[in-house]
Structure formats: C-alpha cells, structure tokens
Structure 1
C-alpha cells in the first residue's frame, strides 16, 4: 500500500473529517489518465485516450440543445439579457471599433456559471458521463466558454496559438482534470478547427508566453514556447454535436478562420472535486496569474487572491464538494 493510501486509511480510523489525498495514479487497472469507474469508455476508447490524450465522441450533443445555446448567445450579445460575472471578449483586430455590435463584435464569452441556460451544457449527463470516466464521480466545473471565432480580418488574429490548457489552472493532479469541447456546426480547416499534437499530454507543463505575431494576439492567448515542430498533428474535423474530451496537458490550438462565417463551439473544463490548489510561486504560470490579477483589479478595484477568485467561479456539477 502506498504511503498516501496508508495515510488515508489512518485518517478514516481516527475519524478526521478531512479530504483524502489524491495521487496521480488512482486507477487500480494500471491506466494513468482514465479511471472509468462508470464503465462508459470502451477498451478501445480508453486506450486511445491513454495514448493520445483526447477522444472524439460523434453526435453527442443533439441539435436542439445547440440551438438553445445559439439563441442564448444572441440574447447576450444583443444585450437582451445580462449575466452576472460573464466575461465578453472582442477580437484584437476590432477591439477599438465600436461600430461593430452584436454577435459580430464578440469572439468569446466565458464564465457563464451564473446562467442556467448556457451552464446546462456543463450539467449535461451526456457530457458528464465521459468526464466522470476521467475525473471520477465528484466533479466540479472550473471554466465555461462559448467561442465565436470570427472570419479573419487578414491579420490572422482569429487563430489560437498552440498551448496547454493547464497553464490557466492552479489545480493538481492534472490527470484528474479534463476539457470538453463541442462543435456547434460543421468545423474543418477552412473555419479554424482544433489541431492537436497526439501524445503530448505525457509531457510536463511548458513555458507559455504571447507569440510574436505581426498582426497581434488576443488577450490571454498564450502560446507554448517549446514543442517539437515536426511532431505529428491531427486536425479535428467535426460535425455539429461532435465533442472532443482532452487532457489539459495536450498541446493544441486552432487555425485561422478563412471562411465567410463565424465558427461556434461550446466548451467546459472539469476537475475532480478532490483536486487541490497549488501556489504559482516557482511555476511557469506566474505570468498568467499576474496578468489575471491586474485585470481583476482594474475591473473591481480590489486585490483578489487567485484561489478566492477561482473558487467564486467553480460549481459542483456532480457528486459532492470536497477540496475545491
């Protein structure tokens, strides 16, 4: 029995009501990146995720649910409804052009945990059954967003640099955190589909910085500094309702939208409620934490500790609240 397991047993005997410690390797079957306690993943699906760090499930989300999200996005962008705590983002190429309004002005909304309509995506049993196979049964939603990638202005600002999502989360262990990303329409290379570097989830978190792009780069669009440019890449061509689940260390990004229309997807990040916060000190995540703290202070006039701000956005979507 591992030391952590022995400590958890002892705590149970003496009756302390404290969270159990979580190890990286919590699956008794020898798998590292999946638990599959609910048996949702087939052996083939599980092995694919273990080796590649992602899994695409076709036609998971029905069209009528995606239509509800589209309508809600329109209501938000046209100011028919206001959602507390919601973040709205404009592409850097039009950031100062106030003549552009409505859906065309917004390339992303995020942190919609206070909107029951959009947040129903993160509560969906269709999504959570696959998330549970990775995180375990007690699940906390830690981030939500709807991406409205605009037709590119010619400056290539619609692309998203290759990155690892873990850069944005001070939670560990990383193997018990997962992302879900659902195409709200046909998505291919013409309108900027996701591109992944299979197997890179087995690598550590790398340094991230803003890429030196001539046309500019959107706020918080950090790019990974060190990756193998010759590594195989897989472009995820997806139909409406297709959903990809992936590890937060998987190196991925998205291409330029060279089509005439906006490209929509809805996404969420989930963590086991047994995960814990880490200090940013001594990590490669200090640039993100510092920039975010500055944004929060400009918006609120307050110095909000990172953990406090993060917890305010977190919502238990299955099971019980534990560490986070």
Structure 2
C-alpha cells in the first residue's frame, strides 16, 4: 500500500514534468547545483521531500548506534545532549539503558554523532537547498521504542518550522537517515506531499487518551489528507522542507526503530521575533525547560547555542 501511494506520487510528478520544463519553471525550494537532477529538483518542488537511497554507510550508522547505547548506559558524558524518555516509561523504574530513552537531542557538540552533520555526501545534497554556507541547527538521534500499548511511540502530524525562530523557511532542510530497515510496522515516516507550499499552522498537544511525549506538538484537520508512508532501508536519507506536514506511526514490533537527523539552514538566516505568533507556546515551553536547568535564555539564544557551522563561512563573522 505504501509503495503504491509513493508510486502514484512519482507518477503524478512524471506526468507533469515535461509541462513544467517547457514552461520554464522557476524553482523556489531548490538552488542551481549539479548534485540533483532536474527530475529530483522538480519532485522536491512539487512534493516537499526527496529520498536518496543508501546515502550513508552501514559502518558509520553502526558507530552512531554504539555511541547512542553508550550515552544510554552513561558510559560517556552527556555534555549538552538532552536524553529524552518516552512518557510511558519515564516513571518505570524497571527499565534502563536503550529501552528508557527515545531520543538523544542536541548532539551538535558530541565528537562522534556530530560527524553525521559533516558527512560530505549529506552536505553536498544540503547545499542544493541552503546554499554554500551551512549551519547545523537541530540534531536528533531518534530511538522509537516498542510501543507499550499506550500508542505513545507515534508522533503527531506536525511542521518542523513550528520549533524554529529563524528564516527563511525555504533555505532550511532536514536530512533524516534510517539507521536500520524502517517499515510501517516499526513506525516509518508519514508525509503529506505538497503541504510545504502552505503556511505554518497552529500547533498544540494532541488529545491522546494515554498522553503524549514532551514537545510532541501537532496540527489538526489533516487526518483525511492524502498521506504517503516512507519505508526506508538502512542508509536511505530523506530531505524535506520545514513546512511539510509529517509524522510517524507507532512501533508495533519488539525492536527499536532508529534514525538520525539534522536540520540545516543557510548560515545567512535571520532570527525572528515570535511574540504574538503561533510559536509562542513552544518558545515558552523551551525557555522553561532551560530555566529549570539553570539557563535563563530567550528562545532565539537557545537556538544560537544549539547550532554549529558545518560548511562555508558564517556571514555574521567578519572575514
């Protein structure tokens, strides 16, 4: 079913492709760069995502997995990494290690995991969306655990731009790499093609009976929108736009579903004032968490701390 829906999207793109080219389409979401073909660029323009098969080696991903397990077992210091717990397990004193943590967030200063952000094959593709000066803005290793029956392992439909106080949106892209075979059974990504052409919507916690994980905000009103599941093999990488509505299903297997991701932006991006916007709720939540950790920082300053230059130069720093 998932493959059929993805083929339908691909078929729609191919049918309209010659018309787009004959009409001299002006690309909005991608930049002139020989890494992507015209067909790949047009697919991203139309749909807001693009899967590149086997982009990252198994050996590298295995090293990332081992680092994550070492973090879970506290064999290495966490530093600035936030180790997040699934809500269904957070108060369970009988589990530990890998089973307890569903995410390692902000590994931008970890000497091992940050190497993902610096992979040349990743950055070469990222440059097609951001331009030559690239910052890593948001880093995550996601460890979707086997669902306990509470369905908390799913992730509501959302737009990543909701979390970001920087723009322009079209110069932001996520690189999301499967660390193992990912299927609908263990909770593959679900995307709503074409929604990147819309606007940033109001996000709130969903009304889920058995709770939802911290900061898993979502949008409402899209349950009947055409969706595409993205089953992926180990090393496959999907690049997607920050306004694309996406989420993931629950993990119905007995194993873990791991993926590693980084949101990149042009180093020329500008921070914005989110007061009075739909992003105020997430800003207050993030600032409150930082305050409990002894850091009284504004939302924008927190993101400055979480980011790191990956390629090119930072225009804000004199040459």
| TM-score calculated relative to the size of structure 2 | 0.90
Which SS does the other structure have where 1:116 is aligned? Answer: coil
C-alpha displacement at 1:99, in angstroms?
Answer: 2.2
**Alignment of 1:285 onto 2:279:** yes
| Structure 1 match to 2:146 | 151
**Alignment of 1:315 onto 2:296:** no
Distance in 2, matches of 1:294 and 1:226, equals 29
Root-mean-square deviation (Å):
1.3
Which SS does the other structure have where 1:89 is aligned? Answer: strand
Matched ranges for 1:1-324 at <5 A:
30-36=26-32, 38-227=33-222, 229-300=223-294, 302-323=295-316
Distance in 2, matches of 1:218 and 1:95, equals 10
Unpaired runs of 5+ residues, structure 2, are: 1-23
C-alpha displacement at 1:32, in angstroms?
Answer: 0.3
Distance in 2, matches of 1:257 and 1:309, equals 31
What is the number of equivalent residue pairs in this alignment? 294
Deviation per residue, 1:96-125 (Å, 9 max, x gap): 112211111110001011111100000111
Q: Is the Cα–Cα contact under 8 Å of residues 207 and 226 in structure 1 kept in the other structure?
A: no
Distance in 1, matches of 2:132 and 2:84, equals 33
C-alpha displacement at 1:232, in angstroms?
Answer: 1.3
Distance in 2, matches of 1:323 and 1:54, equals 30
C-alpha displacement at 1:323, in angstroms?
Answer: 4.6
Structure 1 runs (4+) deviating above 3 angstroms are none
Unpaired runs of 5+ residues, structure 1, are: 1-27
Deviation larger for 162-171 or 314-323: 314-323
C-alpha displacement at 1:186, in angstroms?
Answer: 0.5
Which SS does the other structure have where 2:170 is aligned? Answer: helix
Distance in 1, matches of 2:315 and 2:230, equals 35
Which SS does the other structure have where 1:103 is aligned? Answer: helix
